[in-house]
C-alpha cells in the first residue's frame, strides 16, 4: 500500500504532456530529442538562473579509466586498450545519468533531497553528508531502486501497448562540436543562419550529435554529453527541479557503484569501474542560464561557480592561482558586470573535446595544487606535535641573541619576514591586507578532508599559527623600535629577501620597491624556504629506516612553515567545494555569471524595467505640472540603484546542518539621477533645446520625434563602460552629460509646433508624447531588459523538410519565438496554442486584423481573428487574438470556435484535453 501511495505521489510530480507536439516527440527523430533552445538577454539570463535547468551538459575526464587500462595491460598482461576503456567509460557515464534521470522524470524514483522529498530521507542524507556513514542511506537507495525497476518495466510495457500514453522523454547526446544547437551560449538572438544550421544538424542524417551510447571515432579522453528533459510537467518541474537534480546526483553516485544495470553498461569493467571516483571525474553544467542547484550567495556555491574561470583559455587568471586568495566573493565584485551568452568561454564552433580538455587540464592543475597544500599542511600538523608554538617563540628569541641579529643580515631579514607575516595574519590594524580567514576556515575545513584525524590536524595548525603570531607580537614590536628602525643614513639592517610567496603576493608593490633598495641579491625559492643558514639544523624528520630529512633549518623557518600551512588551509577551505569534497557530484553555473551576481544582489535584472516604468510615470506627471509654463521645461529625478561595494560574511548552518559562510551585500547609495530639459524654441531661426543631467547616456530627445537633428552631447566620460565580449568590463569616471541641439529639417515641424504650442492641454500632449517616446527607447535595451527567443529544433526540422531543405527567411521570426513556421508570428502563436491544447497538427494559420481595413501600418497591440486549418476537419477553427509584434506579446482573447460540425467535434476533444 505504501508503495502504491508512493507511486501515486511521485507520479503526481511528473505527467508527460499528451500534446501533439509531444506525441510527435515520441518519434525517434533526432530533432525531437532536444529541448527548445532558449536564447536570452543578460537580464533574462539573470532571472532564469533561479529556475531549474531542463538541459544539462556533463563534462567528463576519462583519464583514470584510461590509466586503469594502461595498468591492466602493462602490469597484468590483460588484453585491453585505453581506447576501449575510455569508450566504455564515456558510455557508462551517459548510461548512469540516463537511467537515473529517466526514472526520476517518470516518477519511478522518488525525490530524496530538498523540500519536495519525503522527510524520512533527510536524516540519512545529513548523516552521510556529515560523514557519519552512508550505510543506511545506501540501503534505502537500493530499496527505491528495486521498486523503480518494476515501475519502469510497467511503463515501458504500457507505452508499447498504448503509444498515445506518452512517456516523459529524455535525450542524451555526445557533443563533438559546439554548434548552433548550443547557439544560445554564443548569442542572445537566433539568426537565420543559426536556424539553417540547426535544421541541417537535426534533419540531415549523420550530421547531428550522436547518442550517448553510440561508438565514436574520436578519442573519448575528454567528453561532453548533453542531457535534455524533452517532455516533462513544466509547472511541477519549475517548483521541484532543483530537488530533482540534487536527487539525481545522489542516485547517480549510488548507481555507479551498485546498480546492476550500470554494471552491465560497464561491460568487462563492471567490477573495476565502480572503484573510479566518479565525483572527481565529471562536472554537471547547466546548458544555458538555468541552474542545477539554486544559486546562493554562499562561499562554497560561489567557489564552485568560480570554476568558470578555468574554462577560459590557458593563461587567463582565474583566482585559483593566488596563494592567499581574497575568495570568490571578492572576485565577483572585482569582475563586475560582464558579457553573457557571447561565447565568452570559447564555445563558438569549437571542438567540444579540446574545449573540455583545456577545462579539465586547468581544473586538474588547480586540484593538484590544492591537494598538495592540504597534504603539506596535514603533514606539518604532525610536526607540531613535537614543537609547540610556545617552544618555537622561545627558541626564536634565544636565536636572536645567540646569533646576534643586529649584525646578522640574513637572520634579521628572516625575522622581519616572520614579523610581517605574523602581522598580516593577526593584526586587526592590517585587516585590509587580508581576507576573513577565520570565517572561511570555520566553514570550509569540514569539506576538505575525508578523515577525522586529518581534520583535527588542520584545526591544530590553525590554532598554532594564531598562537605563534600572538606570542611573537611583543618581540616584533620591540624589534621595530631597535633593529628594524633604520634611518635613511644607516646601512639597512634587514631586507625582505626571506618573505614567503604568499606575503609577497599580499604586499605587492610595497615589497617590490623595497627589495630593489636591498643590497644582497634575493635568494632563489629553495634558499628562501630554507631561510638563514643557521649553523645547526633545528628540526629533522627522523625515521628508523631512512636518513633524516631536514624540516626546519631554524626556528624561524619552522614559524614560516606554520604560517604557510595556515595560509594553505585557508586556501584549501576557500575552494573546498570546487577542488575537494570528493563525496558529491559537483555542478557549476559555468555559462551564467549572473547566477551568483543575482544571488549576491550585485545585479538586479528588473532594475531597467522598473526604472523605465517609474520614469514614464514621472514624466507624465511632470508634463501635467509643466503644461502651464511659458516654455516647455522638465525636471526629472529618479533613484539610482545602490552599488554593491562589498560582501560581508556570516557563518551559519545550511539545511543539511553543515557549516557555511553566507554573504550579504553592502550597498553604497548613489546620487539620484537628475535631468533638466528645456525647449528654448526658435532662438536663431531654428527650434533649439538644452539638457543637463548628472548621469551619462541620458537620451536627448525633443517630443519624441526627429525634431533635433543637429545636436551635440558631451559628458565627462574618460573610459567607455560596458561588457566586452571577453567578459571583462571597464569602469567609467563620467559624472554628467550636457546636450544641446537645434532642428533644421522638415520634421522639425513637430518641435516647432511644440515650442510654439500654447501652455495647457496641447503642451501636455507633447510632453506625454516625449514620455512615451523615451519609454519606447528604454524598452529597446536588449541587454538589461528581460528578452527571450526560443527555437524548437523539431519545428525547425519540419520547416526544413517541408521547404525543400531550406528555411524560408520569412519563418525566422515565428521560429525564433518557439513557434512553427508561419509568415505571421501572431498566426504562429495561435497555431502553437491550438497544437499544445489539442495534440493536432495545424496546417495553415492566418490572422485578419481588425484595423486592416484602414490600411495604415500600426505599432502596438492589435486585435484580430485567427483562422486555423487542420487535417481532422473541413473548415476553419477561429480564435480572437491580441498581438503586439514590437514587444512580442501574443495572447488569446477568446477560446477556439468553429461553424463546422466536424471542427466542433475536434474542439470538444480540445476542451476535454484542457
Partner 1 sequence: MIKISAHFVLTIAMGLVLSMADAYAAKKKKPVVVLKPAIVVAPNFEFSQAVVERDGLLQIMNTMTCDSSLRSVCQSQCRAPACEWPEPLCRDCLGTGSEVMREIFSRLSIEYHATDSIDSDELIRTLVARTIKLTRKSPYDVYNSSTDPDLGSHLQLLCGSPDGLVGVMYDEDHRPTHATLVACNTPQGWRVRVLERKIEPKLLNP
Binding residues vs partner 1 (CB under 8 A): 64-65, 67-68, 71-72, 74-76, 78, 80, 133-135, 138, 257, 267-277, 279-281, 367-368, 371, 374-375, 378-379, 382-383, 385-387, 391, 395, 449-451, 454, 536-546, 548, 551, 555, 582
551 versus 686: smaller Cβ distance to partner 1: 551
736 touches 783 (CB < 8 A): no
| Residue (547 or 684) nearer to partner 1, CB | 547
The distance of closest approach from Cβ of residue 273 to partner 1 in the complex, given in angstroms and rounded to an integer, is 8
CA gap 23, 27 in Å, rounded = 7
How far is residue 9 from each of residues 91, 231, 249, 418, measured CA to CA in Å? 32, 19, 21, 63
For partner 1, which is the closer residue by CB, 434 or 534? 534
- Minimum distance from CB of 734 to partner 1 (Å)? 50
Query: Which of 641, 638, 643, 700 is CA-nearest to residue 674?
Result: 638
- Cell 617590490 belongs to which residue? 512
The CB-of-284 to partner 1 minimum distance in angstroms stands at 17
Closer to partner 1 by CB, 183 or 457: give it.
457
CB of 449 to partner 1, least distance (A): 7
3-state secondary structure of 231: strand
Kindly state the smallest distance separating residue 79's Cβ from partner 1, in Å: 8
Nearest to 336 by CA among 783, 733, 730: 730
For residue 518, give every residue at least 6 positions away whose Cβ sits within 8 Å of its Cβ, in sequence order, or none.
Answer: 492, 495, 496, 497
Per residue, the 3-state secondary structure of 463-526, as one string, reads HHHHHHHHHHHHHHHHHHHCCCCCCCCCCCCCCCCCCCHHHHHHHCHHHHHHHHHCCCCCCCHH
Q: Closest distance between partner 1 and the C-beta of residue 575, in Å? A: 15
Instruction: Give the closest residue to 292 by CA, choosing from 575, 56, 585.
Output: 56
Q: Which of 566, 393, 560, 417 is nearest to 472 (CA)?
A: 393
Q: Which is nearer to partner 1, 254 or 700 (CB)?
A: 254
- CB-count burial class (<10 Å; 0-12, 13-18, 19+) for 642: middle
Smallest separation, CB 553 to partner 1 (Å): 10
Report the C-alpha gap between 575 and 307 in whole angstroms. Answer: 10
DSSP per residue, 107-137: TSS---SSTTS-TTHHHHHHHHHTTS-SHHH
Helices (H), 539-659: 555-574, 576-579, 594-599, 607-626
Instruction: For partner 1, give the closer residue by CB, 71 or 730.
Output: 71
Cell numbers representing residue 184 in the block: 544560445
Task: Give the Å distances, CA to CA, from 553 to 101, 414, 540, 547.
Answer: 57, 12, 8, 16
Q: Residue 228: count other Cβ atoms within 10 Å of its Cβ.
A: 21
* Cβ 133 to partner 1 shortest distance, Å: 5
What is the smallest separation between the CB atom of 59 and partner 1, expressed in angstroms?
Answer: 16
* Shorter beta-carbon distance to partner 1: residue 374 or 688: 374
Cα–Cα dist 185/800, whole Å:
23
Residue 320 CB, nearest approach to partner 1 (Å): 17
Minimum distance from residue 220 beta carbon to partner 1 (Å) = 17
Q: Return the residue matching grid coordinates 573546498.
A: 576
Shortest separation between residue 396's beta carbon and partner 1, angstroms: 11
CB of 253 or CB of 815, closer to partner 1: 253
Q: Please identify, using beta-carbon distances, which residue of 198 and 383 lies nearer to partner 1.
A: 383
| Residues linked to residue 651 through DSSP beta bridges, in sequence order | 661
C-alpha closest to that of 339 among 589, 594, 37: 594
CA distance 298 to 305: 11
**Closest to 447 in 3D by CA, of 328, 585, 581, 583:** 581
Q: Which is nearer to partner 1, 551 or 588 (CB)?
A: 551
Q: Residue 762 class from Cβ within 10 Å (0-12 exposed, 13-18 middle, 19+ buried)?
A: middle
Cβ-based nearer residue to partner 1, 75 or 334: 75
For partner 1, the closer of residues 349 and 386 by Cβ is: 386
**In the complex, least distance from residue 413 CB atom to partner 1, rounded to whole angstroms:** 21
Nearer to partner 1, 131 or 654 (CB): 131
CA pair distance 236, 523, nearest whole angstrom: 64
Amino acid at each position: 500500500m505504501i508503495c502504491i501511495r508512493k507511486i501515486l505521489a511521485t507520479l503526481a510530480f511528473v505527467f508527460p504532456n499528451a500534446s501533439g507536439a509531444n506525441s510527435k516527440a515520441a518519434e525517434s527523430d533526432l530533432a525531437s530529442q532536444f529541448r527548445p533552445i532558449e536564447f536570452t538577454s543578460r537580464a533574462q539570463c539573470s532571472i532564469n538562473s533561479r529556475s531549474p535547468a531542463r538541459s544539462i551538459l556533463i563534462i567528463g575526464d576519462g583519464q583514470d579509466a584510461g590509466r586503469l587500462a594502461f595498468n591492466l595491460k602493462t602490469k597484468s598482461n590483460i588484453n585491453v586498450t585505453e581506447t576501449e576503456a575510455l569508450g566504455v567509460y564515456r558510455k557508462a557515464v551517459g548510461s548512469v545519468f540516463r537511467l537515473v534521470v529517466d526514472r526520476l522524470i517518470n516518477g519511478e524514483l522518488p525525490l530524496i533531497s530538498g523540500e519536495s522529498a519525503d522527510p524520512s530521507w533527510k536524516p540519512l542524507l545529513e548523516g552521510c553528508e556529515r560523514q557519519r556513514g552512508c550505510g543506511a542511506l545506501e540501503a534505502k537507495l537500493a530499496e527505491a531502486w528495486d521498486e523503480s525497476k518494476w515501475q519502469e518495466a510497467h511503463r515501458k510495457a504500457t507505452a508499447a501497448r498504448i503509444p498515445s500514453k506518452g512517456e516523459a522523454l529524455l535525450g542524451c547526446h555526445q557533443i563533438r562540436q559546439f554548434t548552433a544547437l548550443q547557439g544560445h551560449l554564443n548569442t542572445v538572438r537566433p539568426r537565420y543562419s543559426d536556424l539553417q544550421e540547426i535544421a541541417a544538424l537535426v534533419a540531415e542524417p549523420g550530421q547531428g550529435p550522436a547518442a550517448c551510447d553510440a561508438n565514436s571515432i574520436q578519442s573519448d579522453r575528454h567528453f561532453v554529453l548533453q542531457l535534455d528533459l524533452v517532455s516533462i510537467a513544466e509547472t511541477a518541474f519549475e517548483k521541484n527541479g532543483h530537488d530533482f537534480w540534487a536527487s539525481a546526483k545522489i542516485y547517480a553516485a549510488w548507481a555507479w557503484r551498485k546498480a546492476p544495470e550500470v554494471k552491465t553498461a560497464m561491460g568487462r569493467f563492471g567490477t573495476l569501474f565502480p572503484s573510479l571516483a566518479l565525483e572527481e571525474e565529471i562536472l554537471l553544467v547547466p546548458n544555458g542560464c538555468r541552474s542545477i542547484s539554486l544559486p546562493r550567495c554562499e562561499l562554497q556555491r560561489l567557489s564552485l561557480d568560480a570554476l568558470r574561470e578555468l574554462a577560459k583559455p590557458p593563461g587567463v587568471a582565474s583566482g585559483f592561482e593566488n596563494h592567499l586568495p581574497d575568495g570568490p566573493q571578492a572576485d565577483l565584485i572585482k569582475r563586475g558586470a560582464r558579457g553573457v551568452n557571447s561565447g565568452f568561454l570559447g564555445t563558438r564552433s569549437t571542438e567540444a573535446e579540446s574545449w573540455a580538455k583545456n577545462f579539465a587540464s586547468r581544473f586538474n592543475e588547480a586540484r593538484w595544487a590544492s591537494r598538495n597544500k592540504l597534504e603539506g599542511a596535514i603533514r606539518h600538523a604532525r610536526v607540531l606535535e613535537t614543537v609547540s608554538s610556545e617552544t618555537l617563540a622561545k627558541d626564536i628569541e634565544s636565536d636572536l641573541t645567540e646569533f646576534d641579529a643586529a649584525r646578522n643580515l640574513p637572520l634579521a631579514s628572516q625575522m622581519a619576514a616572520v614579523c610581517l607575516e605574523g602581522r598580516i595574519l593577526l593584526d586587526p590594524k592590517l585587516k585590509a591586507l587580508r581576507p576573513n580567514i577565520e570565517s572561511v576556515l570555520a566553514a570550509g575545513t569540514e569539506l576538505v578532508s575525508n578523515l577525522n584525524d586529518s581534520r583535527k590536524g588542520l584545526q591544530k595548525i590553525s590554532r598554532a599559527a594564531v598562537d605563534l603570531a600572538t606570542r611573537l607580537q611583543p618581540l616584533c614590536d620591540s624589534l621595530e623600535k631597535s633593529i628594524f628602525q633604520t634611518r635613511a643614513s644607516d646601512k639597512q639592517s634587514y631586507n625582505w629577501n626571506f618573505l614567503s610567496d604568499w606575503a609577497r603576493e599580499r604586499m605587492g608593490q610595497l615589497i617590490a620597491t623595497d627589495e630593489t633598495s636591498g643590497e644582497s641579491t634575493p635568494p632563489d625559492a629553495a634558499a628562501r624556504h630554507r631561510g638563514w643558514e643557521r649553523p645547526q639544523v633545528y628540526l629533522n624528520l627522523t625515521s628508523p629506516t631512512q636518513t633524516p630529512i631536514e624540516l626546519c633549518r631554524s626556528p624561524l623557518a619552522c614559524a614560516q612553515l606554520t604560517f604557510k600551512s595556515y595560509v594553505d588551509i585557508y586556501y584549501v577551505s576557500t575552494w573546498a567545494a570546487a577542488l575537494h569534497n570528493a563525496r558529491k557530484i559537483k555542478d557549476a553555473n559555468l555559462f551564467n555569471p549572473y547566477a551568483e551576481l543575482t544571488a549576491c544582489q550585485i545585479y538586479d535584472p528588473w532594475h531597467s524595467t522598473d526604472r523605465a516604468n517609474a520614469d514614464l510615470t514621472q514624466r507624465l506627471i511632470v508634463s501635467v505640472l509643466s503644461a502651464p509654463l511659458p516654455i516647455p521645461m522638465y525636471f526629472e529625478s529618479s533613484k539610482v540603484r545602490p552599488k554593491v561595494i562589498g560582501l560581508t560574511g556570516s557563518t551559519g548552518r545550511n539545511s543539511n546542518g553543515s557549516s557555511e559562510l553566507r554573504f550579504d551585500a553592502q550597498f553604497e547609495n548613489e546620487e539620484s539621477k537628475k535631468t533638466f530639459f528645456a525647449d528654448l524654441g526658435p532662438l536663431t531661426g531654428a527650434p533649439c533645446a538644452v539638457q543637463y543631467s548628472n548621469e551619462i547616456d541620458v537620451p536627448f530627445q525633443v517630443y519624441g520625434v526627429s525634431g533635433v537633428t543637429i545636436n551635440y552631447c558631451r559628458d565627462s566620460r574618460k573610459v567607455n563602460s560596458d561588457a566586452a565580449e571577453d567578459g571583462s568590463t571597464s569602469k567609467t569616471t563620467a559624472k554628467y552629460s550636457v546636450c544641446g541641439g537645434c532642428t533644421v529639417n522638415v520634421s522639425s515641424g513637430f518641435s516647432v509646433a511644440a515650442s510654439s504650442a500654447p501652455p495647457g492641454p496641447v503642451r501636455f500632449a507633447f510632453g506625454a508624447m516625449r514620455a512615451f517616446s523615451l519609454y519606447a527607447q528604454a524598452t529597446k535595451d536588449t541587454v538589461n531588459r528581460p528578452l527571450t527567443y526560443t527555437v524548437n529544433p523539431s519545428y525547425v526540422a519540419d520547416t526544413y523538410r517541408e521547404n525543400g531543405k531550406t528555411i524560408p527567411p520569412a519563418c525566422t521570426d515565428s521560429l525564433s519565438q518557439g513557434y512553427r513556421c508561419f509568415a505571421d508570428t501572431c498566426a504562429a502563436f495561435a497555431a502553437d496554442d491550438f497544437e499544445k491544447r489539442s495534440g493536432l497538427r495545424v496546417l495553415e494559420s492566418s490572422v485578419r486584423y481588425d484595423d486592416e481595413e484602414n490600411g495604415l501600418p500600426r505599432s502596438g497591440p492589435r486585435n484580430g481573428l485567427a483562422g486555423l486549418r487542420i487535417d481532422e476537419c473541413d473548415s476553419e477553427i477561429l480564435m480572437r487574438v491580441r498581438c503586439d509584434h514590437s514587444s512580442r506579446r501574443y495572447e488569446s482573447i477568446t477560446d477556439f470556435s468553429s461553424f463546422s460540425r466536424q471542427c466542433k467535434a475536434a474542439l470538444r476533444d480540445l476542451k476535454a484535453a484542457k
